[in-house]
Amino acid sequence: MNHVQLTKEGFENLKKELEELIKTKRPYALERLHKARSMGDLSENSEYNAAKEGFAFVEGRIQEIEEILKTAKVVENQNNNHQVEVGTSVIVEIDGKKELFQIVGDFEADPLNKKLSHTSPIGQALVGKKVGDWVEVEVPAGKIKYKIVEIK
């Protein structure tokens, strides 16, 4: 069985999302479905179809999160910031500018907020490296060179 790597924060966020889905979104979706069903002819009822799809989405997300949490391995940064790994934050320098990235598991990745999956091109290049190392990453725009400045 493959384990899903999550940071402690990512694990807690998924648990919160699951709780909200079960306590709030599922009852709302079910109520919407019942109301739409009571409107009459289901074959012509677009609200019923939308409610059914909404309910199916909520149920699917609940199942997905439950499965992730069952197989999740919470990764804690225990290497005293000697090298980049899942759960570490890394400050890199590129063309004289500094950027902070957090290395996370696949399900937590959010590139717009600088949370990079350890399996992404940049994440793969950084994992295992130490302060002072240079990494070169092939991205759609070409090659980027990062110097690792700090690991926390």
CA gap 150, 152 in Å, rounded: 7
The mean predicted confidence, pLDDT, of the chain is 91
Residue-level pLDDT at 122? 93
CA gap 13, 35 in Å, rounded: 31
All domains of the chain in start order, with CATH: 4-75 (1.10.287.180), 89-151 (3.10.50.30)
* Long-range CB pairs of 34-40, under 8 A, 24+ apart, other chains included: none
First to last CA, the chain: 30
- pLDDT, one tens digit per residue, over 120-132 is 999 999 999 999 9
Structure-token match 């999956």, residue found? 117
pTM of the model: 0.78
Residue 12 has pLDDT above 70, yes or no: yes
- pLDDT, one tens digit per residue, over 24-82 is 999 999 999 999 888 877 777 788 889 999 999 999 999 999 999 999 999 876 666 68
Structure-token match 């999550």, residue found? 6
Residue 124's contacts (CB-CB under 8 Å, 6 or more residues apart) are 118
